[in-house]
Chain A
Amino acid sequence: MENRIKKKRRAFVHTDMCVACGCCQKVCPLNAIQIWNGIWARVDGTKCVGCGKCAKECPASVIEIQEVAS
């Protein structure tokens, strides 16, 4: 049996530089990213599949797609 850890991809926001413009929220197909109190974007880890649409759209390029152990 192969003993491989399944890796899941997820978006991470560098909140210190997020401008809360909401571009990410608009393109997310799963509604997994929301602007929290007009301050920064927040990713819902249970919904995000790490498709990378938000990272591509973010004008400040503060969203990163990282692998997380599932």
Chain B
Amino acid sequence: MKKRWYDYLWIVELIYMMLGFFNILFAWLGMVFFCIPLIISLIWGTKGYCNRYCGRGQLFGLLGGRFGLSRKKDIPRWMKSKWFRYGFLIFFFIMFFQMLWNTYLVFAGVQNLKQAVTLLWTFKLPWHWAYHGTLFSPGVAQFAFGFYSVMMTSTVLGLITMILFKPRSWCVYCPMGTMTQLICRVKNRKHVIVTEQK
């Protein structure tokens, strides 16, 4: 099948994850990966981002597929249930807002900047070597550390499920995927009702 430019977006994802090792402020660029899927689903009512442009999914597909790092087993039934998918979305939301709250506290001067990346919402990894100061408030850097933690956590989770199950198992419970599908459902609800009645 002919390759298109967007089939190489896994390189962008890889570069993004690497940049965070050199300067944490690059983590802000990750906002693009958060905004584009939402914009596409809100405007066009499709999951065009997941279907075409998701570099993370492509990376898992490549590592698990071509590099053979996946067992290629079926994902457990509970992991694809709506309960788990929406539950994980809510959990992700709560943790994201907690990260935003911590950022606010640093902006407000109540808390000091924590130069660490929190993996799986638990393990604090020292990351001071990627912080070289900021021209703005330390809160800007705090958000970068927090946001990079979110990205790192999802990458690690995705890698684990890539190895255990099928390469793109992350796509099954990806909070962004669940959220955009929900937006599409609401946006196209009239068509859905008609289709489900058929």
- A62 near B80 with CB under 8 A, answer yes
Main secondary structure of the interface of A (DSSP, over half): loop
Q: Tell which of A22, A25, A39, A58 touches B184, judged by Cβ atoms closer than 8 Å.
A: A39
Q: Does B52 contact A (CB under 8 A)?
A: yes
Chain B: minimal CB distance from A68 (Å): 18
Which residue of B45, B46, B168, B180 is within 8 Å of A59 (Cβ)?
Answer: B168
Q: How large is the interface on B (under 10, 10 to 19, 20 to 34, 35 or more residues)?
A: 35 or more
Say if the beta carbon of B20 comes within 8 Å of chain A.
no
Main secondary structure of the interface of B (DSSP, over half): helix
Please tell me if A35 contacts chain B, counting CB pairs below 8 Å: yes
Residues from chain B with a CB closer than 8 A to the CB of A58 are 166
CB pair A35 B166 closer than 8 Å: no
Q: In the complex, which residues of chain B have a beta carbon less than 8 angstroms from the beta carbon of A38?
A: 41, 45-48, 180-181, 183-184, 188
User: Does any Cβ of B come within 8 Å of A13's Cβ?
Assistant: no
Q: How far is the CB of A31 from chain B (nearest CB, A)?
A: 10
- Chain A residues positioned under 8 Å from B167 (CB to CB): 59
